[in-house]
Amino acid sequence: MPIDSHLVETLWDAANFYNEPSFIENDPILIPHLFTNERDIELAGFFTAIIAWGQRKSIISNAKELLKRMDDSPYDFIVNSSEDEKQSLKGFVHRTFNDIDLIFLVNRLSVLLKEYSSLERIFFNDPSFSVESALIHFRNTIFLSDSESKRTEKHIATPEKNSACKRLNMYLRWMVRPNDGVDFGIWKSVNPSILKMPLDTHVIRVVHELGIMTQLKGDWKGCIGLTQIFSEIHPSDPVFFDFALFGMGVNNRNMS
């Protein structure tokens, strides 16, 4: 069902209001903005996104700690650090993500970055990939059949298990959407039109309250359905509305 014109206007107003650099100070996207090198930006963004659940203040604090343990040079640390240097990662914890998970991902990315050169190439190894196939490929490439990775698998979501893949979709938004002072636009091989909406509790609540999708669930099917609605409003950049929906939810503001 098409969204009525008044609601469409409200959504555009909210997007233009919230999608501004002034709103990133208390958002996890602040962390990759602390870096200038593109390889550091994508890795800082990845690890921040992976631990992006819970209170934003804790996410930001723990992401800063994680990157400090990498000497605030995540690309150089992951590609070049010795086993002794990786001891600095021990003791890290954010909720259920701990040093076992962190060290596994650092070791795996150390191998993969030497092969693919960037996270962009690990996700979108084939230019014909959709977001769904990119997410599946990334997870399968990270984990292969390594039994030691079993506890870490829960931190890398996949559409194959009907997950909404909120954190990874958020990460892709950061990397792919044009540089507007909020997102970075450093993954040039990916068209923003194929991105999928990150679904978190704030977004789902606002979508329900506005009547956009009254039965929206936080799964992959819901992610696709909501993205399709916003694709009809803004075909070239449907996730432009993500930060607005999140901001409306966090700030309990309906923009009406």
Q: Between the CA atoms of 61, 14, 229 and 200, what dihedral angle is there, to the nearest 10 degrees?
A: 20
Residue 226 within any structural domain of the chain:
yes
Which alpha helices (DSSP H) does 38-130 contain, by range? 38-50, 56-68, 74-80, 99-116, 119-123
Residue 256 within any structural domain of the chain:
no
Residue 128 within any structural domain of the chain:
yes
Choose between 78 and 15: higher pLDDT. Answer: 78
Angle at 240 between CA 167 and CA 163, to 5 degrees: 30
- Count the domains in the chain: 1
Domain span at residue 18 reads 5-250
What is the token pair recorded at 152? Answer: 């870490």
Q: What percent of the chain has pLDDT over 90?
A: 81
Q: Convert the pLDDT of each residue in 137-167 to its tens digit.
A: 999 999 986 666 889 999 999 999 999 999 9
Look up tokens 């978190």; give the residue: 200
Q: How confident is the model at residue 227 (pLDDT cuts 50, 70, 90)?
A: very high
